[in-house]
């Protein structure tokens, strides 16, 4: 099953010379103003919808894409509405309407997979090649995490917003959170440290629990 999504022509012009941007556009559905936030890097596409006024999470989709003849085709890895629409592919075309919201490039940009945790000063690693994944994408001052299963297409949650990273300090400001709307608007501060291909992430979760996570660079 394929779905056509309209996308700003300027995105294509920029995409020829860079590795993507973050974009936003709005639509009206059932009397509600819906914000669509889109991440694109050199090979991955994520689109998330949430209500602009109440910032209630609606849907997220994402996957690897390729360009063919003026269009891009996205093979989805996750679709939070899969049980309803069975959608596994997107066909993205060009049109007017989107605006670039990218900020300046920051540390930690890229796609990251949850690779484990540190407990009692011991690393507990997980296999990032397994079908059950938690991924975080950071791009131009915006972030989103998604928990999903590429084999069953089951969706286990997502959240995102704006972030900053400087001098070992990392802060997330939550704009949408699929599991709990009450988390929207809060800021979470962490310490981070890069160790080769790993990002060590320490602080407290949105529930207030202490954490020390290990995120590993996703390749490709």
Q: For residue 108, what pLDDT is reported? A: 96
Considering the domain architecture, whether residues 128 and 42 belong to the same structural domain is answered as no
Distance CA 7, CA 92 (A): 7
Q: For residue 137, what pLDDT is reported? A: 98
Q: Does an H or E element contain 15, and which? A: helix 9-15
**Of 71, 100, 129, which marks where a domain is finished?**
100
Confirm if 83 and 102 have CB atoms less than 8 A apart.
no
Residue 48 makes CB contacts below 8 A (sequence gap 6+) with 36, 37, 38, 57, 59, 60, 61, 144, 158, 160, 176
Q: For residue 8, what pLDDT is reported? A: 39
Q: For residue 52, what pLDDT is reported? A: 86
Tokens 């997980």, residue located? 126
Considering the domain architecture, whether residues 19 and 96 belong to the same structural domain is answered as yes
Domain that holds residue 38: 2-100
Query: Which tokens sit at 97?
Result: 């309407």
Digit-coded pLDDT (tens) for 181-204: 999 999 999 999 999 999 999 999
Digit-coded pLDDT (tens) for 47-99: 999 998 889 999 999 999 998 876 889 999 999 999 999 999 999 765 557 78
What secondary structure letter does DSSP report for 130?
Answer: S
- Mean pLDDT, range 10-28, rounded to an integer: 63
Query: Would the pLDDT of 6 be above 50?
Result: no
Considering the domain architecture, whether residues 115 and 82 belong to the same structural domain is answered as no
Considering the domain architecture, whether residues 64 and 161 belong to the same structural domain is answered as no
Considering the domain architecture, whether residues 153 and 207 belong to the same structural domain is answered as yes
Distance CA 6, CA 69 (A): 16
Q: For residue 16, what pLDDT is reported? A: 36
More confident residue, 130 or 16: 130
**Of 74, 100, 126, which marks where a domain is finished?**
100
Query: Would the pLDDT of 10 be above 50?
Result: no
Considering the domain architecture, whether residues 131 and 184 belong to the same structural domain is answered as yes
Considering the domain architecture, whether residues 184 and 205 belong to the same structural domain is answered as yes
More confident residue, 218 or 97: 218
Considering the domain architecture, whether residues 93 and 115 belong to the same structural domain is answered as no
**Is the residue at 105 inside a domain?**
no
Distance CA 26, CA 64 (A): 24
**Is the residue at 7 inside a domain?**
yes
Tokens 């066909």, residue located? 91
Digit-coded pLDDT (tens) for 135-177: 999 999 999 999 999 999 999 999 999 999 999 999 999 999 9
**Of 75, 100, 125, which marks where a domain is finished?**
100
Which CATH number does the domain housing residue 166 bear? 2.40.128.280
Q: For residue 95, what pLDDT is reported? A: 55
Domain count, the chain: 2
Distance CA 201, CA 150 (A): 25
Digit-coded pLDDT (tens) for 101-126: 999 889 999 999 999 999 999 999 99
Considering the domain architecture, whether residues 114 and 96 belong to the same structural domain is answered as no
Considering the domain architecture, whether residues 94 and 125 belong to the same structural domain is answered as no
Considering the domain architecture, whether residues 135 and 63 belong to the same structural domain is answered as no
């Amino acid at each position: 099953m394929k779905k056509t999504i309209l996308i700003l022509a300027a995105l294509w012009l920029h995409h020829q010379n860079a590795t993507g941007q973050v974009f936003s556009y709005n639509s009206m559905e059932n009397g509600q103003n819906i914000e669509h936030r889109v991440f694109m890097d050199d090979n991955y596409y994520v689109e998330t919808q949430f209500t602009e006024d109440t910032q209630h999470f609606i849907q997220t989709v994402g996957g690897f894409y390729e360009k063919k003849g003026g269009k891009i085709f996205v093979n989805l890895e996750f679709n939070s509405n899969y049980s309803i629409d069975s959608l596994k592919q997107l066909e993205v075309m060009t049109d007017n309407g989107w605006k670039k919201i990218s900020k300046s490039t920051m540390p930690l940009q890229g796609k990251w997979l949850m690779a484990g945790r540190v407990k009692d000063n011991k690393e507990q690693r997980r296999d990032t090649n397994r079908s059950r994944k938690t991924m975080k994408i950071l791009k131009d001052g915006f972030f989103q995490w998604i928990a999903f299963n590429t084999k069953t297409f089951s969706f286990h949650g997502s959240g995102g917003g704006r972030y900053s990273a400087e001098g070992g300090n990392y802060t997330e400001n939550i704009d949408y959170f699929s599991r709990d709307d009450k988390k929207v608007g809060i800021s979470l501060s962490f310490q981070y440290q890069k160790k080769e291909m790993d990002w060590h992430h320490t602080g407290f979760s949105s529930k207030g629990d202490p954490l020390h996570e290990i995120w590993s660079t996703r390749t490709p």
